[in-house]
Chain A
Amino acid sequence: MTAARKLTTPFTEAAVRALQAGDRVLLSGVIWTGRDAAHKRLVAALETGTPLPVRLEGQAIYFVGPCPARPGEVIGSAGPTTSGRMDAYSPRLIAECGLRAMIGKGERGPAVVEAMKRYGCVYFAATGGAGALIARCVRKCELVAYPELGPEAIYRLEVVDFPLVVAIDAAGNTLYGR
């Protein structure tokens, strides 16, 4: 295995398609948080033609609901949640909004992988249960939308060297169930 490669958001389609399952990555730049409750609202906005609170073209969504920040901290512990709960929503964000990367933990369903292959999107696994470690990579955290959802709101994060592995690449190759 080679050393981790440094990547920065946003992503082009070519950059995403160059990544291969098993590649280790240190990701820097802006990423957006979102769990099922926020995804449900984003897809509802697509349904009604309402503008989304975030422009997702070329962007990465991180499936996370962080702990509250203590005074003087940027963010509380912030590891990934189970991605499968977003399977019902992710294909539309990939197809209609140009989402290029998702960050979470655990396997994805066939419809998600199909959309990733067709439109060019990558799925990164972050280390589940390493929330204290990952919080150190977050340098800035701003509330963007749905504050009433608390930990499930959408936040804009600025991360530096967030350790990830390409779990499913844009060709559909997967590290799960090898």
Chain B
Amino acid sequence: MGMNIQIDRRPPAERLRRLPFQTVVDRVALCCLEASCRLPEDVLAALKAGLEHETGELARDFFSQYLENARIAAAEQRPLCQDTGFAVFFVEMGELLAIDGGSIYEAIAAGTAKGYNDGYLRKSIVRDPIFRRENTGDNTPPIIHLTLVPGDGLTVILAPKGGGSENMSALRMLKPAQGRAGVADFVVETVRNAGGNPCPPTVVGVGVGGTMEKAAFLAKKALLRPLGEPNPDPDYAALEREILDRINATGVGPQGLGGAVTSLAVHIEPYPCHIASLPVAVNLNCHAARHAGFSL
């Protein structure tokens, strides 16, 4: 979906690409099933490396179970985990794309309902957080992060988010004076406090800078980066390595029951910051670090 080099001087209405509503619905539905049942290759590779790294019998046993679970899930098209999550979408939509027959929001919501129903995925969303905790019955509404981009394409990434790991996430507004060390300490403390709850070994997404909600968004987005790919900035890449080493020195281990591998990766995403602020958000993902996507 690159930038058009040649300038098309026709008015936008004439350049508009149209995509049928149902096409988007069907692709989103397929994506729900794929994300739930198939662990991405980078995560599988990280789990295999974890098994090699662990020496304790119990820790090794957990890694073997994770790998066997991934094999069964892919072969039988069963969800890796019963918590098939909140359906969180990252969408890049070309400014010259129109969905025929509804909005992109409606198409993704309809695709979510279809995917979770037809795929026998668990519906985990309640209507209201406090007063009406009744299941909505079709795992809607999804959460949609929509970005407008040049061109006429559509790219959708679904990252279903389980409750166990989401609950262990944290955000703190640090003082700028706390700097690098303050950020590192907060991330390590968050992972240590989480213990076995987020189903370690986790993937640790960190958003630094921006505002409160920007940091939280970046922490979630950081989870999408392929495992093992460092931040392109060498300062952040070094900080990621340092934090990962400190996390794995805690001994929390798989399932929180002790071991050398507590996290598979730490991904930091920075953003420019107010002179008075240093927001840090930590979003944890379980070892079933699922995502799937498509472009139309």
Contact A132–B79 (Cβ < 8 Å):
yes
Which residues on B sit within 8 Å (CB–CB) of A84?
197
Which residues on B sit within 8 Å (CB–CB) of A130?
65-66, 68-69, 81
Total count of chain A residues near the partner, CB < 8 A: 41
**Any B CB within 8 A of the CB of A49:** no
**Given A127-B65, A129-B66, A105:B197 Cβ within 8 A:** yes
Report whether over half of chain A's contact residues are helix, strand or loop; otherwise say mixed.
loop
**Given A69-B120, A76-B122, A106:B195 Cβ within 8 A:** yes
**Any A CB within 8 A of the CB of B292:** no
Q: How far is the CB of A121 from chain B (nearest CB, A)?
A: 19
**Any B CB within 8 A of the CB of A107:** yes
In the assembly, what is the distance between CA of A69 and CA of B62, in Å?
A: 25
Q: How far is the CB of B223 from chain A (nearest CB, A)?
A: 15
Which residues on A sit within 8 Å (CB–CB) of B286?
128-129
Interface size class of chain B, counting residues whose CB lies under 8 Å from the partner chain: 35 or more
Among candidates B61, B135, B199, B257, residue contacting A129 with C-beta atoms closer than 8 Å: B199
Contact B256–A106 (Cβ < 8 Å):
yes
* CB-nearest residue of chain A to B162: A129
Which residues on B sit within 8 Å (CB–CB) of A127?
62, 65-66, 69, 255
Among candidates A77, A106, A163, residue contacting B197 with C-beta atoms closer than 8 Å: A106
Contact A175–B258 (Cβ < 8 Å):
yes
Interface-central residue, A24, A68, A78, by most chain B CB under 10 Å: A68
Contacts of B43-79 to chain A: CB distance below 8 A: 57-58, 61-62, 65-66, 68-69, 72-73, 76, 78-79
Q: How far is the CB of A26 from chain B (nearest CB, A)?
A: 12
Contact A107–B197 (Cβ < 8 Å):
yes
Residues of B bordering A, CB below 8 Å: 57-58, 61-62, 65-66, 68-69, 72-73, 76, 78-84, 120-124, 133, 135, 137, 163-164, 167, 195-197, 199, 251, 255-258, 286-288
Ranked 9 nearest A-B pairs via Cβ = A128-B199, A106-B197, A130-B69, A133-B69, A132-B73, A131-B82, A132-B78, A77-B82, A77-B79
Extra inter-chain contacts (7) besides given A65-B83, A128-B81, A150-B137, CB under 8 Å:
A77-B82, A129-B81, A133-B69, A133-B72, A150-B123, A167-B257, A175-B257
